[in-house]
Chains A and B, each alone.
Chain A
Amino acid sequence: MLGFSHSFLSNFLFWVTRKRWLIFTFVISLLLFYIPSPTTLTPEGHRTLIIVVIALILIIGEVIPLPAVAILILILEVIFGIDTPNGVAASFMSDAVFFIMGSLMLAVAIVSQGLDKRLALGIIRMTGNRTWRIVFGFVAVSAILSSFIGEHTVAAMMLPVALTLVRNTSEDKAIVHTLAKLLLFSIAYGCAIGSIGTPSGGGRNVIMIGYISEFGLGNISYLDWIKYAYPMLLIEIPIAVLILWVTFRPEQTILDSAVRKLKVNVAKSGKMNGNQIMAIFVFVGVFFGWVFLSPYLGLGIIALIGVFLYLSFGLIEWKDINRNTNWGVIILFGAAISLGMQMKETGAAEWVASQALTGMGNIVEDIGIQRWFISVFLTGILTNFLSNAATVAVLGPIILDMGGNPVILCLTTSIASAFAYLTIVASPTCMIIHSSGLVKSNDYLKAGWKLFIMSMAVLFLVSYLYWPLLS
């Protein structure tokens, strides 16, 4: 046909089918480009929103590598005349990007110390051999640890503990499939719940703090964040345990032999070595740095100081950090934050915010509920299909332009972005437990929808009953 060989046509069709979202993006962006700008929106704002649409489709579809999406965002910001090359470059790097970079590197450094066996022993000593107590221990420890050191670090450390308990119970997957789901979801949901506790729980928290600071809307310190968010974390732990227990009630109510075997396994690793003690010491130093020095140095720089110490003390090799750090994600978050800044600068964020509020105004009159719905429900839904940090990077400027108390909106948005319970792609922790091969995609919905609704309800109550007492 038309002189093309069958091989060429076959390759072409394969490319088209695999890249259909890319083609769709191109077509939709062309259409949007030639639609006249609304009168209330500047031409720069209009073009910024086109980039937002392009980025969202490409990120959700994952049709091109994430760094390519990041590069495209930066290129389009310049080509569309939204900012100068130097302006785009300046908005690309921020303390939030340093923090994401530093926390990903810290994750590699911490996981490589083999502290997970100590952790396993600690949990088992605390919980004993009753399954429900072990589940409570998993959720609580995952939540508390991930509030300080990031979700996927904790998930990577906890995964082998859960899998060892499952394997020690039975090698037959049919016998232990419910137990496996229960333990694995305890980790994933525990980590998600925990990530709201402190700014260092997730890159998205730092992105929101960065936005309110950059936009001159206020400041929120590390300790202030804890005061607002930690009670919610603590309330959510028993709720998550209950929901998981009801959804995945296992046949094994006592894991006696599995726990004994785990203790034997852990005992083989001997006493804590010097490197492990040093690793804990450095991290505790980083934590205190975040608490007391972040107003002066920034959360990102302190995370990087931690990485520097791990490297210079020989606790981790650069090649290990290099191999296990997702540089593509760092570049993408840099570009997403840059895009967020441009949304604010060009008035695109304000325009979307006013449109959203007008639309919501037809359904509910109360402006507070309108803001709450957009910042919580929209963020919560989008975070299940997009990365939570990318969700916050894009929605953050819009939500902060809706009026109201920016600190409260910052917190509700960040917290809602942790409600990543419904899909495999919702967060790295969901993907990590899925990679075990023991949980299926529909399992996420089984327990996830209940926890999603309960989390929204808890956030509503906390924001209306507890937060006013703090201000």
Chain B
Amino acid sequence: MKFLIAIGSKEYSEPTLRLGMRVAKAFNAAVTIVYVGEKISAFSTSGVHLAQENLKNWELDRQGVDVLAWAFKYLEDNGYLSTGSAGEGFNIGRLVQTDEDRCEVFLEGNHTQEVRLILRNGDIIEQLRDEVNKRAFDITIIGASNKRSMAHDLIQYIDSSIFVVKNYQPDGQYKMLLAVNDAPNTRKAVKYGARVAQAFDLYTTAVTVSSTTDFRENYKKASAWADKFLRRSGIENEIRLEHGRFMEIMSTIAGDNHIIVMGSSTKSPLAKFFTGSKPLKVMKHCKCPVLIVKE
């Protein structure tokens, strides 16, 4: 599997990197850590490139290199790099320009298969989408953003599962909340959730929400399947069948101490664009990390 972890700064991205790497380790995934710098106006590209080239003569790093160096240090300190990669240290000379606005450092992972550090510039959604499309990532992990359209754009346009690390407290006692229904993505979501729950040893609640008191047969079947799968995986869990508003129930159960895992919406992209979707609402309103699993 391939995971993409987007980081923004040393100050705010530590929880994202920490949780992202732990999840990647659980899946034994290859990891790419990407820093996306701000878009450079087309009028200024040559001026900025000229200034950046000149910085090298003064042994100064361009913006973002310090963030990658910090990420490297984190990986090194936490044993995510092989002895060979860690021993060499972070060296700006290893940053290879692969595209006009993309540089990368290739490293060998310890627990994970491989680790890449990437520096890009531009609109974050465009850059993440391009990276995901080119290298077919399974999960994109990113911190929560204050930008209103960010959650929408991530779900709508990034063709991978999305894990938004929102309000994650590294020392917090987390549980897992799985949203289960009869949608095709649910099984994949349960499998992903189970893997994370095993790795983090999380108590899991699988909740099925119906808008009426009358539960459809398919909902009951899906809930029973989830229960069976979780028990077989050795995960301590409870199954809940709730009726009412999906968002309210999820938000109440999740509080701020759950990791929510749910399948992506099966609505058409046009319908999602205009009317939104349940995963989008969960991502916007819940106060904890959310993993939206896509097909």
Task: Give A residues with C-beta under 8 Å from B.
Answer: 1, 6-7, 9-10, 13-14, 17-18, 62, 65-66, 104, 107-108, 111, 114, 116, 152-153, 155-157, 159-160, 163-164, 167, 265, 323-326, 328-329, 387, 390, 424-425, 427-432, 434-437
Q: Determine the chain B residues whose CB is within 8 A of the CB of A66 once the complex forms.
A: 42-43
A9 and B270 contact, CB distance less than 8 A? yes
Establish whether residues B55 and A437, one from each chain, have CB atoms under 8 Å apart when the complex forms. no
How far does the alpha carbon of A425 sit from the alpha carbon of B39 in the complex, in Å? 10
Complex CA–CA separation, A318 to B269 (angstroms)? 48
Given the interface pairs A10-B157, A432-B48, the reply to whether A160 lies near B41 with Cβ below 8 Å is no
Min CB–CB distance A153 → chain B (angstroms): 8
Whether A432 lies near B270 (C-beta < 8 A) is no
User: Inside 8 A of A104's CB, which chain B residues have their CB?
Assistant: 46
A-B contact pairs, 14 of them (CB 8 A): A13-B156, A13-B157, A13-B273, A17-B153, A104-B46, A111-B50, A111-B53, A111-B54, A160-B55, A163-B55, A427-B44, A428-B48, A431-B48, A435-B62
The answer for the CA separation of A464 and B45 in the assembled complex, in Å, is 38
Q: How far is the CB of B62 from chain A (nearest CB, A)?
A: 7
Q: Are B46 and A164 in contact (CB under 8 A)?
A: no
Query: Once the chains are docked, how many angstroms separate the CA of A329 from the CA of B157?
Result: 31
A432 to chain B, nearest CB (A): 5
Residue of A nearest to B133 (CB): A11
Q: Could you tell me the dominant secondary structure of chain B's interface residues? A: helix
Asked if A14 and B268 make an inter-chain contact with CB atoms under 8 angstroms apart, the answer reads no
Residue of A nearest to B153 (CB): A17
Give chain B interface residues in 105-161, CB to chain A under 8 Å.
Answer: 126, 129, 153, 156-157, 159
User: What distance in Å separates the Cβ of B57 from its nearest Cβ neighbour in chain A?
Assistant: 6
Tell me the bound Cα distance from A71 to B271 in angstroms: 37
Known A-B contacts: A326-B46, A428-B43. Give 10 more (CB < 8 A).
A1-B271, A14-B129, A66-B43, A108-B50, A116-B58, A152-B50, A324-B46, A325-B46, A432-B47, A435-B52
Q: Which residues of chain B come closer than 8 Å to A14, judged between CB atoms?
A: 129, 156-157
Q: Enumerate the 3 nearest inter-chain pairs by beta-carbon distance, A residue then B residue, closest first.
A: A428-B47, A437-B63, A152-B47
B228 within 8 A of A: no
The answer, yes or no, to whether B40 is at the interface (CB within 8 Å) is yes
> Within B163-185, which residues are at the interface with A (CB < 8 Å)?
none
State whether B50 touches A107 (Cβ < 8 A): yes
Please tell me if B51 contacts chain A, counting CB pairs below 8 Å.
yes
**Given A14-B157, A159-B55, CB of A431 within 8 Å of CB of B41:** yes
Complex Cα–Cα for A14 and B52 (A): 31
| Chain B positions near chain A (C-beta within 8 angstroms) | 37-38, 40-55, 57-58, 60, 62-64, 126, 129, 153, 156-157, 159, 268-271, 273
User: Smallest distance from the beta carbon of B139 to chain A beta carbons, Å?
Assistant: 18
User: B48: which A residues are within 8 A, CB to CB?
Assistant: 428, 431-432, 435
In the docked arrangement, what's the CA distance between A226 and B270, Å? Answer: 59
Q: Is the CB of B63 within 8 A of A436?
A: yes
With A328-B42, A428-B44, A437-B37 known as contacts, the answer to whether A155 contacts B269 (CB < 8 A) is: no
Task: Give complex CA distance A437, B63 in Å.
Answer: 6
Query: Chain A residue with minimal CB distance to B43?
Result: A387
* Contact, CB under 8 Å: B41 / A62: yes
Once bound together, how far apart are the Cα atoms of A354 and B84, in whole Å?
Answer: 73
Closest to A433 in B: B51
- Once the chains bind, are A329 and B60 in contact (CB under 8 Å)? no
**Which B residues lie within 8 Å of A326 (CB)?**
43, 45-47
Known A-B contacts A10-B269, A159-B55; the reply to A437 vs B64 at CB < 8 A is: yes
Chain A residues with CB under 8 Å of B43's CB are 66, 326, 329, 387, 390, 425, 428, 431
Which residues of chain A have C-beta atoms less than 8 A from B270's C-beta? 1, 9, 13
Q: Does the CB pair B63–A163 fall under 8 Å?
A: no
- A429 to B50: give the CA distance in the assembly, Å: 11
User: Knowing A116-B54, A424-B41 touch, does A167 contact B60 (C-beta < 8 A)?
Assistant: yes
Assuming the contacts A14-B157, A116-B54, A326-B45, asked whether A431 and B40 have C-beta atoms less than 8 A apart, the reply is: yes
Q: Which residues of B lie under 8 Å from residue A116 when comparing CB positions?
A: 54, 57-58
Q: Please, which residues of chain A bring their CB within 8 A of the CB of B157?
A: 10, 13-14
Q: Are the CB atoms of A160 and B50 closer together than 8 Å?
A: no
**Whole-angstrom CA separation of A111 from B58 in the bound complex:** 13
